[in-house]
Structure 1
């Protein structure tokens, strides 16, 4: 029996609502009145690589736990693959691979044996092809050579890879990854990015929670930003970045004079770094700003607006810095 025919998941009805994940007014309030998630309306398009961003305490992890049926919402609704969760969790979860808050591993078992145990716990898994599935998952995340090593001797990055392998033992319609590149070196991060793109091209929707904004920008097609338990914005990554204003950059051997002229021309937040002067573009024709520099005798070697990054958009939306690991 080949691998493709070895696993036949229980049928899941077509999505009853738009999106692989959809929440409406989803709210979680803990004892003591702490409001972790407040009226969340989230839509994750089918086939997307969806980045989920937010500073510490923003409600990302609580949201993921509700989507996976690990905790119940206080109010509101959540649908995953067209079914309500947590009520239909048993129907939905066999179609989802997840790596949440780090992998749970048996340190005294080898990497291979950990995956064999994970696979054996899946009632949909055909035991006749278990070894083949495990070997394929190990190879996919680059752990074949370390498969016989005990998990307690694995580095943090290797444990992340093994957790991802466990999520990939079966074909999945949805993959939920919480900080998937945590502990990986640059080469490992590139490999995970490549794997995520490959999975998406095969039709898997990938939901990624990460604090590495450049990673999200490189691999994700869509993203959402959370702050203080509420959704700030969501949409295609390119649109989110485009929503933040770019930065005016002037390169000149006369930075002090350039900074003075730029301020006079309405450029905000002017900063001088060596021969580079940056600032927020003014509400006027930039050609006039350049002309004013030249008229003042500033030797302009470079003049233009750098495109805003997802980090720029995040800071503009939340007022938070780059530490967004919560």
Structure 2
């Protein structure tokens, strides 16, 4: 009797050189009752990038991900994933995509290992000859080898997130779609997931990451997009997005009140005085002139710097929202 043969997944087709892994044009989703969840989205995710997807509650991120994965159909517009149109070519595309969306669906009465074995058995592209070895490797990659025999219902939220990520890594993937992958993880676990994401990207996997943790996005992502109220506000390399927000002018002086007066005259806005630290928005003028005006007014300047804008600054400038941006 011969060895069992694996079912070869239908190929999604070769992407042309420079073609993005995800590309949407005027992608729109309107639900019954007229609710417009996604409005004319033009999204471009470069191959090999770690792409952060940001937006406040109800911004349309999850709806977008569902359309990209073929779980729901758009009202209008187009989406291409791995060079093929979705949802029409979803069956060809999905075997090459790993996904963890809105938390993993697990069988609580099964162990972590048996959950992964069951996931792999349901995958027509999975080779049964290598199943147990691939499950063991995926568990090791997310740090769950020691807990592999424990029932999933006894797992913490962070452990369940790790197990869901392991399920997405059972096969080599060209694209990995992760929705809040660090949810429930402690700082050490978050650091390990960041390291894993970077390793996957260095191996050629494109990672599409939805998260409300702006600091996490800034640390791990090469590119990002910001959505609000169903519309795309900005996208591009993370460094460029952060640079698009004004930095913070910081003057260190014992003469706070006088410094604030002079800075206001020099066009500095949103001025705050805290002890010997005076801060404000960087004005549209030569900063050397601003410093000279402070000195000419008798302000004892002990420090004069500009703190660079962060991705958080860019996000707030674009959306007017604070930290609670999950959704």
TM-score using structure 2 length: 0.95
- Aligned partners of 2:9 and 2:124 also within 8 Å: no
Partner of 2:168: 167
Could you tell me which runs of 5 or more consecutive residues in structure 2 were left unpaired when the two chains were aligned.
1-5
Partner of 2:12: 12
- Aligned partners of 1:252 and 1:298 also within 8 Å: yes
- In the TM superposition, 1:221-236 aligns within 5 A as 221-236=222-237
- In the TM superposition, 1:244-263 aligns within 5 A as 244-263=245-264
SS across alignment from 1:47: coil
- Aligned partners of 1:49 and 1:219 also within 8 Å: yes
Partner of 2:267: 266
Count of residue pairs the alignment pairs up: 322
Q: Distance in 1 between matches of 2:311 and 2:57?
A: 18
Q: Distance in 1 between matches of 2:227 and 2:272?
A: 29
Q: Distance in 2 between matches of 1:221 and 1:254?
A: 41
Q: Distance in 2 between matches of 1:133 and 1:26?
A: 36
Partner of 2:66: 65
Partner of 1:31: 32
Counterpart check, 1:285 vs 2:286: yes
Tell me the CA shift for residue 247 of structure 1.
Answer: 0.8
- Aligned partners of 1:18 and 1:43 also within 8 Å: no
- In the TM superposition, 1:67-216 aligns within 5 A as 67-216=68-217
- Aligned partners of 1:7 and 1:170 also within 8 Å: no
Q: Distance in 2 between matches of 1:7 and 1:169?
A: 15
Could you tell me which runs of 5 or more consecutive residues in structure 1 were left unpaired when the two chains were aligned.
1-5
Tell me the CA shift for residue 8 of structure 1.
Answer: 5.8
Tell me the CA shift for residue 288 of structure 1.
Answer: 1.5
Q: Distance in 1 between matches of 2:272 and 2:155?
A: 45
- Aligned partners of 2:51 and 2:224 also within 8 Å: yes
- Aligned partners of 2:11 and 2:93 also within 8 Å: no
Q: Distance in 2 between matches of 1:311 and 1:178?
A: 19
Q: Distance in 2 between matches of 1:109 and 1:212?
A: 31
Tell me the CA shift for residue 7 of structure 1.
Answer: 8.9
Structure 1 residue ranges (4+ consecutive) displaced by more than 6 angstroms after TM superposition: none
> Structure 1, residues 84-129: CA drift from partner, whole Å, max 9, x if none?
1111111000000000001111111111111111111111111111
- Aligned partners of 2:253 and 2:301 also within 8 Å: yes
- Aligned partners of 2:9 and 2:92 also within 8 Å: no
Partner of 2:3: none
Q: Distance in 1 between matches of 2:154 and 2:298?
A: 64
Q: Considering only aligned residues, what root-mean-square deviation do their CA atoms show, in Å?
A: 1.5
SS across alignment from 1:268: coil
Q: Distance in 1 between matches of 2:151 and 2:253?
A: 58
> Structure 1, residues 195-235: CA drift from partner, whole Å, max 9, x if none?
00000000000000000111111111111111110111111
TM-score using structure 1 length: 0.96
Q: Distance in 2 between matches of 1:218 and 1:38?
A: 29
SS across alignment from 1:170: coil
Q: Distance in 1 between matches of 2:62 and 2:301?
A: 48
Q: 1:282 to 1:121 in 2, by over 3 A?
A: same
Tell me the CA shift for residue 295 of structure 1.
Answer: 2.3
Q: Distance in 2 between matches of 1:202 and 1:11?
A: 20
- Aligned partners of 1:178 and 1:209 also within 8 Å: yes
